[in-house]
Amino acid sequence: MRTISLLGSTGSIGRQSLDVIAACGASVAAITANSSVELLEQQARQFHPKLVVCYDPAAASDIRTRLADTDIRVASGMEGLIEAATIPEADTVITAVVGNVGLRPTLAAIKAKKRIALANKETLVCAGELVMRTAKEYGAEIIPVDSEHSALFQCIQGSADHGEIKKLILTCSGGPFFGKTRDELKNYTRADALKHPTWKMGAKITIDCATLMNKGLEFIEAMRLYQVTPDQVDIAIHRQSIVHSLVEFRDNAILAQLGVPDMRLPIQYALTYPKRLPSVVEPLDLFSCPPLSFQRPDTETFQCLKLALDCARKPGVACAVLNGANEAAVGLFLKDQIRFLEIGELVAKALEVVPDGPADTLEQILDADRAAREAVYAAR
C-alpha cells in the first residue's frame, strides 16, 4: 500500500482523500493546510504523519503549540509545502490545494519522481506544458483525480497510444444556473451560486461550476493531460452527473465511465491504479437511474466558458492569465464585492490588458498570473 503526502488535507478533496486512505489502509507521511488548524490537528492525531504544514505562518505557530506533545514536525509557507511534496517517505502526492499555489509543490514532487494524484487543475491550466514536459523528463506519473479526467483515464486504459483517441468528451452538470439567461443571472448572489445540483465541493470550484469556468479549465486540463488539440475535446451538458466523461476512438467506438457522483472513487483509483479495490462509494443502480441526456453548452450566456475555450487555442501565457484572473474574480465574488456576471467581465478585461508572451518558464507563468490578478483588482 502507498504512503501519501496530502497537500490540502482540510479542503473537500483533502477530507475525502483521508476517508479513502483510512478505508484502503494507506499511510500518511505529510498533510498540509492553509490555516484550518483545528481540523488539521485532528487529522494529525488520527493519521500520525511525520510532517504537518500550515501555509499561513501564524496558523503554523498555533499548530506547533497544539502538536507540542507529539513528535510531528511542523513547517510553514511555500517552503513547507515543497518539503511536504518531496518528503522521502511518500511515494504518492495528492495535490488537493486550491489555485495556483499548487504549482511549485507539484513541480517539486514531479522532480522527486512521486506519483502525482492531481486534484489541482489550476496547475495544469496555467503551466500545463511545463508540468507535462517535466513529468516526462523525470518519469513521474500524473494520475488525474478530477472526476472527468479520471473517467477519461479509465476509458483509455488498454488503448495502445493516444493516436487512437478521436475525441475526449467531458460531461458537465450545467451547474445551478443551467437554462438561465444573462438577464436572469444579473441578480444572482453568492448563496445562489453555492448551491450545486449534484456534487458537494469547495467554494471556489462551486462558483467555477456556476459560471461554467470549471468546464473551461477542465477542457484545457484535458488537452494538456492527453496531449490532444482543442478540436479533439468536446463538452456535453449532462444534468444527471452519472456519465463522468467519454472517449471516442478512431474506430468510432465510444467508452464511458459511469457511477454515482462521489469523488472518493477517482481519488481511490489514483492511489490504487492500475488495480481496483473495493470502495466505500455506493454502487450505481442502473434500474433506478433517471434517463441520461446530453446537450451542447450555452457559451453565449456563460461567458467564462467561451473565454476559456478561446484561451485553449492560444499559445503562451493566455491560460495562466485566464486562471489568475478567474481566481482573483471568484475571490472578490466570494467576499460579496462583485456581482455574478462581473466574474466573466473581469476575466475578459484581464485577458485584454495583460500582454501575451511565452510560457516556457515558471517565472513567465507566475508573472502572467500576477499581472492578471492586478488587472482584475484595477478594473473593478
CB of 149 to Mg ion, least distance (A): 7
Closer of 148 and 342 to Mg ion (Cβ): 148
CB of 174 to Mg ion, least distance (A): 13
Rounded Cα distance, 198 and 175, in Å: 8
Amino acid identity of residue 294, one-letter, is F
Task: Give φ, ψ of 84 to 5 degrees.
Answer: -65, -40
Cell (9 digits) for 301: 450566456
Q: Which stretch binds Mg ion (CB under 5 A): 25-33, 77-85, 139-147, 265-273?
A: 139-147
Instruction: State yes or no: residue 221 binds Mg ion (CB under 5 A).
Output: no
Closer of 5 and 173 to Mg ion (Cβ): 173
Q: Which stretch binds Mg ion (CB under 5 A): 125-133, 140-148, 249-257, 322-330?
A: 140-148
CB of 298 to Mg ion, least distance (A): 19
Q: Which stretch binds Mg ion (CB under 5 A): 39-47, 94-102, 124-132, 138-146?
A: 138-146
Instruction: Assign 183 to helix, strand or coil.
Output: helix
Closer of 41 and 148 to Mg ion (Cβ): 148
Instruction: State yes or no: residue 146 binds Mg ion (CB under 5 A).
Output: yes
Q: Which stretch binds Mg ion (CB under 5 A): 26-34, 84-92, 105-113, 145-153?
A: 145-153
Cell (9 digits) for 320: 495562466
Rounded Cα distance, 133 and 188, in Å: 41
What DSSP assignment string belongs to 32-62?
EESS-HHHHHHHHHHH--SEEEESSHHHHHH
CB of 218 to Mg ion, least distance (A): 5
CB of 209 to Mg ion, least distance (A): 8
What does the longest C-alpha to C-alpha distance in the chain come to? 61
CB of 342 to Mg ion, least distance (A): 24
CB of 146 to Mg ion, least distance (A): 4
Q: Which stretch binds Mg ion (CB under 5 A): 11-19, 146-154, 310-318, 358-366?
A: 146-154
Can you give the length of the chain in residues? 380
Cell (9 digits) for 172: 458537465
Q: Which stretch binds Mg ion (CB under 5 A): 50-58, 90-98, 147-155, 340-348?
A: 147-155
Closer of 148 and 369 to Mg ion (Cβ): 148
Rounded Cα distance, 199 and 264, in Å: 12
What DSSP assignment string belongs to 299-314?
TTT-HHHHHHHHHHT-
Q: Which stretch binds Mg ion (CB under 5 A): 19-27, 53-61, 101-109, 148-156?
A: 148-156
CB of 97 to Mg ion, least distance (A): 16
Binding string, 285-314, against Mg ion, x = CB under 5 A?
------------------------------
Identify the DSSP state of 66.
H
Residue with cell 469547495: 202
Number of residues counted as binding Mg ion (CB under 5 A): 3
| Angle between the N-to-C axes of helices 57-66 and 77-85, in degrees from 0 to 180, rounded to the nearest 10 | 60
The Cβ of residue 341 has, within 10 Å, a number of other Cβ atoms equal to 18
64-83 residues in contact with Mg ion (CB under 5 A) are none
Closer of 80 and 216 to Mg ion (Cβ): 216
CB of 213 to Mg ion, least distance (A): 12
CB of 178 to Mg ion, least distance (A): 16
Instruction: Assign 370 to helix, strand or coil.
Output: helix
Instruction: State yes or no: residue 122 binds Mg ion (CB under 5 A).
Output: no
Q: Which residue, judged by CB position, is nearest to Mg ion in the bound state? A: 146
What DSSP assignment string belongs to 274-296?
T-----SSPPP-GGGPPPP--B-
The order of strands in the sheet holding 165-172 is: 233-237, 165-172, 243-249, 254-258
Rounded Cα distance, 117 and 92, in Å: 7
Residues near Mg ion, by CB under 5 A: 146-148
